Chain A
């Protein structure tokens, strides 16, 4: 073979080899996830199933948040907008219509409204985006106690929120685990597809990508939709799991959860983010049993140390090849 041709082929071979190794890793992770989640429901332990359902919902939120960061290069501190909006809309529609299928409409509607908000906000620079999403999310948290509904002449909502009918835990567990597995598979396969390179090109350098003919605005819209709809479904499932929605669905603690869950995971590792979410939910629950809501001190400590942790992670990856 002509040595020049061979030289041109080499990077392509390396790329293909990397992709095929990543595919094997993905298949193993997917299988492990299915086995673990099936084993948990077979235990029949109510508390474990409930806690895992919560972890699954938070993992889905983290994955949807991670898509915006990995593909768009935008760190959002306002993913409570689709999450909380969907939770509220689901509860309100369930109360008004008393029809469970109405939640599907609320998930899509909340996801699309949030996607439009995120698309508009994504025109701001990256640092500004973090601040503005945080401010919009926090504003929603502060405004949410004003949401009131008159049912049978009685005002409900406000600080107390809305209570909805209970759905069996097994059903919620199956829906949330199927949803999380599908989300994990979709995002993993998407990042392995060559089309994701277009998104990554925009993430790395917007101006260069625009100069190369990539339609930046269209990609930003896709990212907003693909990230917000799953976050919205997570919010809807959260409402169903607790059978109750309150202003806490918009709280700062939920807003920072995906960020904290991703701090320890290796760059763009979706499985790492799922593990991070599970660990955080289980540790939070343990700390709660010792002292109510003391887990927020852990969140605070991780947030304070996050710049150092992230730098150490990059140091390991870039310098030591860890």
Chain B
């Protein structure tokens, strides 16, 4: 029972971070980012090369965060250039995600499944790192939403067009948000993929769970930091249900 409780908590932490990233992207950048699954895989591949080639783990982690931020920014620029609404932007992100997956697969042709031979990040450390990311993300969100920027973000969440009319640079926040959420997801991928076989479609399962959790949490119709706290509550219920089913 204790083991199951720990697995529920670690699953809650992991899914909360994923769902927060999905929801943040949807509310600020105004599209459902379906490339998050592939960005998770990108983090996993960077992790594989970092540990296989015995690079510094911290540098690898940093590379993963920075590289995915740039990838997210490129996606946002594509969305801004080609997409005109929520649906178009989401379809562009799906295409971007599939493209990224295929680039990962084509550039790593040693095998479809890549496995890091040794237990490079022990389970306890991995769960602690996940918890650390969870705390960092939530403290960051709390700090942001209590500042002047937070008021602007809430304004964008409630009515993006009106916020733009009142002089809020919505595009700047959308760009930063897409990059930031991509960084979070790739960081998760870097840490968590060390325990499993890495393949291009590795991120689809957490992405779908993240979307479902974010969608259920949006029923409460709250904005700001409170919304992200509710996501964690929904993630807990979701993890509990999953632990009963599987």
Contacts and interface: CB of A to CB of B under 8 A. Distances in A.
Interface string B216-246: 0000000000000000000000000000000
Prevailing SS type, chain A contact patch:
helix
B82 A296 contact: no
Contacts of B86: 127
Contact of A300 (B83, B98, B211): B98
Contacts of A302: 95
Contacts of A219: none
Interface string B89-128: 0111011111101110110000000000000000000000
Prevailing SS type, chain B contact patch:
helix
Given A303-B92, A303-B98, A307-B92, A294 B83 contact: no
A27 interface: no
A293 B96 CA distance: 16
Contacts of B106: 291, 294, 297
Contacts, number: 75
Contact of B208 (A127, A142, A297): A142
Given A291-B106, A293-B102, A304 B82 contact: yes
B87 interface: yes
B99 A301 contact: yes
Interface residues of B, number: 28
B87 A300 contact: no
B204 A138 contact: yes
Interface of B: 32, 34, 78, 82-84, 86-88, 90-92, 94-99, 101-103, 105-106, 204-205, 208, 211-212
18 contacts: A130-B90, A134-B34, A135-B208, A135-B211, A138-B204, A252-B98, A252-B204, A253-B98, A294-B102, A296-B98, A296-B99, A297-B106, A300-B95, A300-B102, A303-B98, A306-B91, A307-B82, A307-B91
